[in-house]
Structure 1
Amino acid sequence: MKDILMEIIESKRITLREQKKAVPAQLLENGASEERKMFSMRRALANSSTGIIAEFKRKSPSKGWINRDASPEEVTAAYQANGASALSILTDTPYFGGDLKDLRIARPEVNIPILRKDFIIDEYQLYQAKIIGADAVLLIAAALEKDECLQLAEKAHELGLEVLLEIHSEKELEYVDSAIDMVGVNNRNLGTFVTDVENSFRLASMLPKDMLLVSESGISSPETVKNLRQAGFRGFLIGENFMKTSNPGEALGSFIKQLN
């Protein structure tokens, strides 16, 4: 079976080489030094009664196009208006139909934390995240060596960005350390894209009790969120369930009403 994650990472390396030619790293570093208002995703989730991280997602490798013509400013503003605790915006183009400008466009429309969700393998992407308006970045254990992950986490903190570490299996528990702000358990295997929410329940008891936990992927029922909260989770990343509808913001609002 083809490993989709490895294919995506190889594509990302090619994209990065092209981006670095177009915009030199030094130029990004200078831009990232400018001060701006930041929002803590960890704090927002810890203080929220719902913990919903609503995701702006146009497509996926497994499902194809979900909402090709979705507007980032309209959807994210509607997400906030309907009770999202934080936002996740995919910025990968080939596999998820996203773009850096989606996050940049959304930033002025909302005053809640935004996660840049992408396959981050280089500090260059952290500078990008800071400049376009992200408050947090996703680091995927399966895509990085442990020391690479630590270095990226530390650089993210230097830039004022929080880190959501994504794990999927027991062997990735060793990636969890003091440089990590939040741990996300991905219910989707990034190699095969098979999804099973039981993965969150399975790993919850193995994670530090003081770590803020986020369950990612495959969540479509308010009852599942209630059960995950009882298992110790405070964040719930949901995208496709909302984005596949004609009005993602209203879908989120309806979901939260059922949750409460």
Structure 2
Amino acid sequence: MNILEQIIRDKRAEVALRKAVVPTGQLEACRLMERNPRSLVASLGQRPSGIIAEHKRRSPSRAVINQGCSVETVVKGYERGGAAAISVLTDGKYFGGSLDDLLLARASTELPLLRKEFIINPYQVLEARAYGADAILLIAAVLDPGQIRELCGEAHALGMEVLLEVHDREELERSLEGGADLIGVNNRNLKTFEVSLDTSRELISLIPAEVGRVSESGLGHPAQLRELQQLGYQGFLMGESFMKQPDPGAALAEFVKTLEP
């Protein structure tokens, strides 16, 4: 069993427990359900950097990244630093996140929020909306085309957008009819954890022009973003390169400055 299979096994048990503790009716009654979600796609077009800056405490590939900065400090710093949107990891066991992180992020910024999670059930989509997310991440590697269509439909019915993550050509081609608003090309091989921007370079021509294009993982240099922008990417999901610094917001601001002509 690889790490992704382990995570999904644990996630099924976690979702079953959460559904038993917090019924859908309770989520539907949350105050944030009355809020109109903001468009992640539009924000990427409006903010020159195109950076979706991520709050991320740790990961299976890098143990602890940053446990010292509060969610509020990171999120407000990201907004000041020029992020187009903010990604919040809510998985607890493997990434040290929680839905409370999403709630705190929502209280700290008006930027679009992406719930980054291993979403396998419509219940998690409703959770995302109830806790203030504007968009959700779906991972093609753990979903079949039918599940992708179902979860995209659930998100759209709730006014949210979907970033669908793919790792190779096969995942991309079988997922294109799912209805995602953006395709995220993850440059990290899930089996080896090796990172190569060749993945983004090779898949860009296969993504329809009407779908938003996001490159993920392995991004840490301005030259990389410039190249990928020229290829046609509008968004860049970046977390570790900022979160490993004592002040993630300041690190982002400095990075954005180097992108200016």
- The TM-score by the shorter chain falls in which range? over 0.9
Greater mean deviation of Cα atoms: 48-57 or 173-182: 173-182
- Partner residue of 1:10? 9
Kept in 2, the 8 Å contact 1:32–1:159? The answer is no
- Partner residue of 2:153? 154
Partner Cα distance (2:74, 2:32) in 1? 29
Shift of 1:32: 7.8
Q: Deviations over 1:124-167 (max 9, x none)?
A: 10111001100000011001011001100001000111000111
Shift of 1:108: 1.7
- Partner residue of 1:167? 166
Kept in 1, the 8 Å contact 2:140–2:148? The answer is yes
One-letter amino acid matched to 2:57? R
Structure 2 CA distance for partners of 1:50 and 1:143, relative to 1, 3 Å: same
User: TM-score, normalised on structure 2?
Assistant: 0.96
- Partner residue of 1:69? 68
Residue 187 in 1 paired to residue 187 in 2? yes
Partner Cα distance (2:87, 2:65) in 1? 16
Shift of 1:211: 1.7
One-letter amino acid matched to 2:52? I
- Partner residue of 2:230? 230
Greater mean deviation of Cα atoms: 39-48 or 95-104: 39-48
Residue 240 in 1 paired to residue 234 in 2? no
Kept in 2, the 8 Å contact 1:204–1:231? The answer is yes
Greater mean deviation of Cα atoms: 194-203 or 90-99: 194-203
1:12-161 → structure 2 map (5 Å cutoff) = 12-31=11-30, 34-161=33-160
Shift of 1:178: 6.5
Partner Cα distance (1:138, 1:119) in 2? 8
One-letter amino acid matched to 2:259? L
Greater mean deviation of Cα atoms: 235-244 or 164-173: 164-173
Partner Cα distance (1:189, 1:68) in 2? 25
Question: Match of 2:214, SS?
Answer: strand
Shift of 1:111: 1.0
One-letter amino acid matched to 1:254? E
Kept in 2, the 8 Å contact 1:81–1:249? The answer is yes
One-letter amino acid matched to 2:9? E
Question: Match of 1:133, SS?
Answer: coil
One-letter amino acid matched to 1:180? A
Structure 2 CA distance for partners of 1:256 and 1:151, relative to 1, 3 Å: same
Partner Cα distance (1:102, 1:250) in 2? 20
Question: Match of 1:205, SS?
Answer: helix
Kept in 2, the 8 Å contact 1:32–1:128? The answer is no
Q: Give the % identical residues.
A: 46
Number of residue pairs aligned between Structure 1 and Structure 2: 259
What is the root-mean-square deviation in Å for CA atoms of aligned residues? Answer: 1.4
Shift of 1:66: 0.3
One-letter amino acid matched to 1:256? V
Structure 2, gaps ≥5 residues long: none
One-letter amino acid matched to 2:165? E
Greater mean deviation of Cα atoms: 238-247 or 41-50: 41-50
Partner Cα distance (1:218, 1:52) in 2? 13
Greater mean deviation of Cα atoms: 31-40 or 231-240: 31-40
Shift of 1:33: 8.6
User: TM-score, normalised on structure 1?
Assistant: 0.96
Partner Cα distance (1:105, 1:30) in 2? 19
Partner Cα distance (2:65, 2:178) in 1? 36
Partner Cα distance (2:93, 2:43) in 1? 31
Question: Match of 2:30, SS?
Answer: helix
